[in-house]
Amino acid sequence: MNLARTLACVVLLLVCVVSLGAGWFAPSGYARQFREAPSSPPSRQHWLGTDDIGRDRFARVLYGTRISLLLAPAAALISTLLAALVGGLAGYLGGIWLRLATGFTDLFLSLPWLFLLITVRALLPLNVSPLVSVLITFLILGLLGWAASARVLAASAQTLRSSDFVLQARATGVRGFRLFLVHVLPNLKPVLYAQFWISIPVFILSEANLGILGLGVAEPLPSWGSLLRELEGMMSFRDEPWRLVPLLLLIVVMTSFQTLLTDETEEVAA
Amino acid sequence: MLWRITRHLLSIAGIVLLGGLISATLVRLAPGFDTDEHQLDPNLSAESVRALRSSHAGEQNVLYFYASYLRGALHGELGVSHALNQPIQNLLRERSMVTVRIAGVGLLLGWLLAMALAFIVSLARVSACEILGTAVSGAFLCIPAAVLALLSVMFNAPGYLAIALIVFPKTYRYSRNLLAKAYAMPHIIAARARGLGELRILIWHALPVIGLQMVALAGITVSIALGACIPVEALCGLPGIGQLAWQAALARDLPLLVNVTILVTLVTLLANSGADVIIHMARSQEA
């Protein structure tokens, strides 16, 4: 493990621990309003100041990070499982199943990712409770984001299908779904892991895009999207530079993911 | 070759038609569909409200709507937008010019930036340049498209700059990796050993190796740029196709969203298939 990867691991671990312990580290709840101090600059009481309606920005950053970092992997898990089911199974079965799955993934990939995501989210209910909005947002990410992974998995499963050990397993009488579960799926694990890890930063960024457009997690629940939405009212960086903290944190987390992923994908490629 | 092009066109037609049908179904099932605030107007008589309702009656059955839409489309009639109360043909014509300009200039600028940086890093062969290139492209990869759009508003920068900065990091990373692989090839190592200049190696030996893959990347970046048009146009207030799609989805405007979806799917597929055909032609010429 090189220095950059170790550093990325440490940063991610630190961010995860601090955001998971938001209840302890945050000076107040994410929705608590300090009505006497709206839009206040950083102080001893509010480390990153308060937002327009007097909520502590540091607390919102911690809770928002927790939501994004917990639910993006959950969405990535859904999309990877769907990809394994559609791509892996179709690649293993081949023939008409593979053609059908390829056509289906082509259909999903024929629309730009952001276009598909934003349009579908905009069509779903917008006036819902914060908890439902979180579920809708991350379920959409999971249910729409499987196509690219399915294509990779179909190709890998197709290669495995004609491999010697699968042929031997078939010769010894292992057939059908059992062959897929016992012999093919375990060998798809490295590709599945890689696809899972690749999906997480993509979903974090996608949630941020949705949140900025007002289609993400509903208020008062914070997420990176809703935190970054605060940039909308800024006229310059010099006005209130502490407002940039969520963006900087996002860049740090995403860079850490990138550093880890570069090595991960290289290992899978090898 | 002709068969390949025909197969591509057939596949594009199939996917576009299916994409349109799925988007129509999604809009039909969307909560809030078939609610028109005009129906709540107390000044309207019961007859007028009934007339308003009957004007949307054709959209209740998705298959019926889609069949009649396709019949109209064959005659050049794309319907009328409920939300904007304008013929969709006019809307698409006006708005597509804005998107073509933003996405086109953004793509061009993004590619220029990416290729210039990739060439400089390749020619310089200094690790500091490599690190700088990776850091700059990495930073832009980590910023959501919508944040870049907000920053372009903050700095009064044109919308195409945001598109360029969205396209740039992906293009740079990919082209830099391809160049690095090309530079490790035996014939380029031999050329360098014989004392050929770096610029000559790049133009005569490295670029032909990576050319076809760059064509494939060009097709993908069209899709990236089109996708980025929604947040950029919506946040920067640019009246393009992205903003139109955004408004259509929010207003549950069935005819408009179906048309926009079909248009975006068609452009994306044509860009990717065009790249595919160019690659196939070049490979068959090589063979």
Q: Identify the CA nearest to A153 among candidates A188, A179, A186.
A: A188
Query: Is the interface score ipTM higher than 0.95?
Result: no
Nearest to A251 among B23, B30, B139 (CB): B139
Q: What is the pLDDT along chain A (270 residues), one digit of tens a residue?
A: 588 889 999 999 999 999 999 989 998 999 999 998 898 999 999 999 999 899 999 999 999 999 999 999 999 999 999 999 999 999 999 889 998 998 889 888 888 898 889 888 888 888 889 999 999 999 999 999 999 999 999 999 999 988 899 899 989 988 888 888 888 889 999 999 999 999 999 999 999 999 998 888 888 999 999 999 888 877 777 778 888 999 999 999 999 998 888 766 555 554
* Cβ–Cβ pairs < 8 A, chains A and B: 113
3-state SS, residue A170? helix
CB A250 within 8 A of CB A15: no
User: B89-113 burial string, b = 16+ CB within 10 Å, else e?
Assistant: eebbeebbebbeebbebbbebbbeb
Residue identified by tokens 């992974």 is A149
What local confidence, expressed as pLDDT, does residue A1 receive? 59
Positions of chain B with pLDDT under 70: 32, 34-40, 52-53, 55-58
- Residue numbers in A near B264 (CB within 8 A): 111-112, 115
Total number of residues shown for chain B: 287
Backbone angles phi and psi of A33, in degrees to 5: -100, 130
What local confidence, expressed as pLDDT, does residue B111 receive? 97
Q: In sequence order, what are the residues at sequence separation of 6 or more whose Cβ sits closer than 8 angstroms to the Cβ of residue A93?
A: none
CB B188 within 8 A of CB B205: yes
- Preferred mutation among A114, A116, A228, A232 to probe B, highest tally of B CBs within 10 A: A114
C-alpha span between B159 and B101 (Å, rounded): 10
Helices (H) and strands (E) in chain B, counts: 12, 0
Dihedral sign of CA atoms A24, A29, A34, A38 in order = positive
What local confidence, expressed as pLDDT, does residue A103 receive? 86
Cβ neighbours of B177 (radius 10 Å) = 13
- Residue numbers in B near A239 (CB within 8 A): none
Q: Identify the CA nearest to B241 among candidates B218, B222, B261, B223.
A: B261
CB A240 within 8 A of CB A173: no
3-state SS, residue B84? coil
What local confidence, expressed as pLDDT, does residue B275 receive? 87
- Residue numbers in A near B145 (CB within 8 A): 114, 209
Q: In sequence order, what are the residues at sequence separation of 6 or more whose Cβ sits closer than 8 angstroms to the Cβ of residue B102?
A: B159, B160, B163, B229, B232, B233, B238, B240
